[in-house]
Each structure stands twice: as structure tokens, then as C-alpha cells.
Structure 1
Amino acid sequence: MKRFLTLFILLLSVIVTHAQDKQAILKVMDKQREAWNNGDIEAYMQTYWKSDSLMFVGKSGPTYGWQNTMDNYKRGYPDKAAMGFLTFKILKVNLIDKTNAFVLGGWNLKREKDAPGGYFTLWFRKIKGEWLIVCDHSS
């Protein structure tokens, strides 16, 4: 019985941690959306791993590095009108292990003259206790 109780407590702990990690990742996504909708690319970029190893894959192919990714965002979205209003539809959050997660979702921008949208896959890694995007493939 003691062994069963120990296993039950361990399983419960894993389930709780799993749920907390999913919530933390969704909070990062909310923070990202909020920063974007405030026209603040610098705050938006704080959800990404600040490393030369960050990878962003878009229609032009891969970009490596946090600064290069930031520069591309600033060129592509020079002002709040270009940024529009961002919404996400999260389709899946899959925790791979204690420090890696995969997120699949859709994105939409509402702007004065158009409403582009697409899908993304994100690889999150827990670095120093914080969930950060280490690879973003957006189309």
C-alpha cells in the first residue's frame, strides 16, 4: 500500500507539473500577442531565446539569431499599422519532456486593408526556469 501511495503521489506531481508548464507556455503566447498588439516588437522578442542559435523559418527561408530575427520583424512591420491586431488559435501544446515543448497554432492579423494569416510551429525550451521559443516556423 505504501508503494502504491508513493507511485500515486509521484504521478500526481507529474500531472500537476505538466499542467503548470502548459499554462506557462500559454502565458508566454499571451505575452507575445499583447506586446504585438501594443506595437512593441522589442517586448514581443523577449519571448524568444536571446541567442545566435535561435532559428526562425518563414517564407524567405531560415534566419538564425535573435538580433537577425528582430531586425527582420522591424523591417517587415515598421509601425503599428503594419503590425495590425494579432490573434492566435492554439491547436496543440505538446510537452516532450521537462524542458522541451512543441506548440502548433494559427495566427491572424487584422489590418486596415487586409487580414493575413497562417500557421506556426514553435519549439519551446525551458531555459533557466523560463519557457522561451528556440525555433519558430511560421507560414
Structure 2
Amino acid sequence: MKKLLMITCFLIAFGSNAQTEAEDKQAILAVMKLQEEAWSANDLEGFMQGYWKNDSLKFFGSSGLTKGWQQTLDNYKKGYPTKEHSGTLNFTISDISQIDEGSYWVMGEYFLKRSVGDANGVFLIIFKKIDGEWKIVADMSC
């Protein structure tokens, strides 16, 4: 009986963990979907809601390392001043993997369809659950 109870507890815990991981991934994908929609509407502040609003946010791109939420937003505004520059954003996700409880990395590609010329690239972002919400804490895009 004791052995059956231990097996049952293990299966519940394992099944619960798999369910939680699937829910985490769905929540992360939902954040990214909102980002696609905001960017495509040239709502850069809305796009940035997916990022951790903190000076410790890190963004690494072709211009090097940017630290902080506000500086990242300012850089986006400078580089994408109009709808013609921001275009329509689509993500293709290649992998979402748990780093540890409460954090995941996401690898994929981005595609910007724009009248001023398309822009495509790859990214690796790290999501962390902060105050019950999934936020990007680090982004490397090129």
C-alpha cells in the first residue's frame, strides 16, 4: 500500500510539473503574440510591456549592449520612428526550454515586413516570472 501511495504521489507530481510547464509556455507565447500585435500597430510602448521594466533589463543587438527598459524603448523609438519603419512583425519560435523554475529561454526568428525594406533576424530571449507575470529580462537579437 505504501509503495502504491508513493507511485501515485510521483505520478501526480510529474503530471503536475508537465502541466505547469505547458501552461508556462502558453503564457510566454501569449506575451509574444501581444508583442507582435503592438509592434505591428507601431505601439512600441505596448510592445515593451513584454519586457521587465527595470534598469537591469539587458538587450544585446548589432549596436552592442543596452541596459535598462527606458533605454531599450528609446532605441526602438529612434530606430523605428514610423509605421513604415516598424512594419508588421511575425515571430517563428524554434525552441522554448525551461532554465529553472520560473525562467525559460526562447529561440526563434523575427520577420519585419516593411515598405522601407524587410528586416529579418534571429533572437534568443530569456523570460522570467516576476510578480506573477512573464517578462523578458534579456534579449539578444540580430
TM bucket by the smaller chain? over 0.9
User: What amino acid is aligned across from residue 44 of structure 1 in structure 2?
Assistant: F
Quick one: which of 51, 57, 60 aligns to 1:57? 60
Larger Rg: 2
Q: Which runs of 4+ in 1 moved over 4 A?
A: none
- The separation in 2 between residues aligned to 1:134 and 1:57, in whole angstroms, is 11
Give the structure 1 partner of residue 24 of structure 2. 21
Give the structure 2 partner of residue 2 of structure 1. 5
Give the structure 2 partner of residue 74 of structure 1. 77
Counterparts of residues 80-91 of structure 1 (less than 5 Å): 80-91=83-94
Quick one: which of 133, 136, 139 aligns to 2:139? 136
Q: CA RMSD in A?
A: 0.7
Give the structure 2 partner of residue 37 of structure 1. 40
Structure 2 length-normalised TM: 0.96
Give the structure 2 partner of residue 96 of structure 1. 99
Structure 2 unpaired stretches of 5+ = none
Structure 1 length-normalised TM: 0.98
User: What amino acid is aligned across from residue 129 of structure 1 in structure 2?
Assistant: G
User: What amino acid is aligned across from residue 58 of structure 2 in structure 1?
Assistant: M
**Aligned pairs, how many?**
139
Q: How many angstroms does 1:95 deviate by?
A: 1.1
Structure 1 unpaired stretches of 5+ = none
Deviations 1:64-95 (A, max 9, x none): 00000000000000011110111111000001
Report if aligned partners of 2:58, 2:68 keep a CA contact under 8 Å in 1: yes
Q: How many angstroms does 1:39 deviate by?
A: 1.1
Q: How many angstroms does 1:113 deviate by?
A: 3.6
- The separation in 2 between residues aligned to 1:108 and 1:115, in whole angstroms, is 8
